């Protein structure tokens, strides 16, 4: 709760910066903190400090319906061992990471079977944003850059599988949350779009401060 309170306070302060203009750009940019909404199931990508009971035993990644859950926030970063400039638009075809805001682990996949459907497991891995190449995802979209209102897909670099939802839901202790998996093809359940979050606006040449656009959490 303390982290959520601090984050909400930070958003309120950022929104009061001079030059704030949500309509200035529609790009997803490096350093943006956002929620990813599955376009086929209308669930948000989520993680929390609950480990898989089988498979890798790493931190679980699920889908949730709740709009307000702070555990659905992810920071957009460059691929493993690379850096990107804050506010730099993410190009279609770029390789990126998603760092979970609350636990500082990266969205990850590997050759383990998922617990419900037996597809490829998706987990959260690493410490303080540091992981390995299993955290890298290619942004698959049709524009020059990743646009906030566009439907996109994410292909796991190491295994070639697509981030998706299996359509199966967990029981206790995470009842109602949906299984997130890697799927072999860009099929139903693999389309994503951005949802609520804090989006860093690209700097203009004559500006000296960073600008932000945000939507409600």
Structure confidence by residue, pLDDT tens digits, 174-195: 889 999 999 999 999 999 999 9
The reported pTM is: 0.85
Could you tell me the end-to-end alpha-carbon distance of the chain, in angstroms, rounded to an integer? 14
173 vs 38, more confident: 38
3-state secondary structure 51-93: ECCCCCCCEEEEEECCCCCHHHCEEEEECCCCCCCCCCECECC
Task: Find the CATH number of the domain harbouring 114.
Answer: 2.80.10.50
State residue 13's pLDDT score: 35
> What pairs with residue 45 in β-bridges?
63
Q: How confident is the model at residue 210 (pLDDT cuts 50, 70, 90)?
A: low
Q: Would you say residue 78 has pLDDT above 80?
A: yes
Range of the domain at 145: 2-214
d(CA 60, CA 43): 16
For residue 5, the SS3 value is helix
Could you tell me which of 44, 40, 22 has the C-alpha nearest to residue 100?
Answer: 44
Task: Judge whether 111 and 184 are in contact, CB under 8 Å.
Answer: no
Q: Which residue is associated with the tokens 């890298």?
A: 136
| Of 9-18, 87-96, 173-182, 194-203, minimum mean pLDDT range | 9-18
Task: Judge whether 12 and 209 are in contact, CB under 8 Å.
Answer: no
Task: Give the chain's domain count.
Answer: 1
Structure confidence by residue, pLDDT tens digits, 24-47: 579 999 999 999 999 999 999 999
For residue 106, the SS3 value is strand
């Amino acid at each position: 709760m303390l982290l959520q309170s601090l984050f909400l306070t930070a958003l309120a302060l950022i929104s009061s910066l001079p030059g704030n203009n949500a309509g200035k750009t529609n790009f997803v940019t490096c350093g943006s903190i956002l929620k990813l909404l599955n376009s086929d199931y209308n669930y948000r990508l989520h993680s929390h400090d609950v480990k898989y009971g089988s498979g890798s035993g790493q931190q679980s990644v699920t889908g949730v319906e709740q709009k307000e859950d702070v555990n659905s926030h992810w920071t957009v970063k460059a691929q493993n061992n690379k850096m990107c400039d804050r506010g730099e638009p993410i190009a279609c075809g770029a390789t990126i990471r998603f760092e979970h805001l609350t636990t500082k682990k990266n969205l990850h996949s590997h050759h383990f079977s998922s617990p419900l459907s037996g597809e490829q497991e998706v987990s959260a891995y690493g410490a303080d944003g540091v992981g390995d190449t299993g955290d890298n995802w290619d942004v698959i979209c049709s524009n020059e850059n990743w646009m906030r209102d566009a439907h996109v897909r994410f292909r796991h670099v190491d295994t070639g599988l697509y981030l998706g939802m299996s359509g199966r839901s967990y029981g206790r202790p995470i009842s109602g949350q949906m299984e997130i998996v890697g799927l072999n093809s860009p099929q139903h359940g693999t389309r994503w779009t951005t949802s609520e979050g804090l989006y860093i606006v690209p700097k203009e040449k004559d500006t000296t401060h960073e600008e932000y656009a945000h939507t409600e959490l």
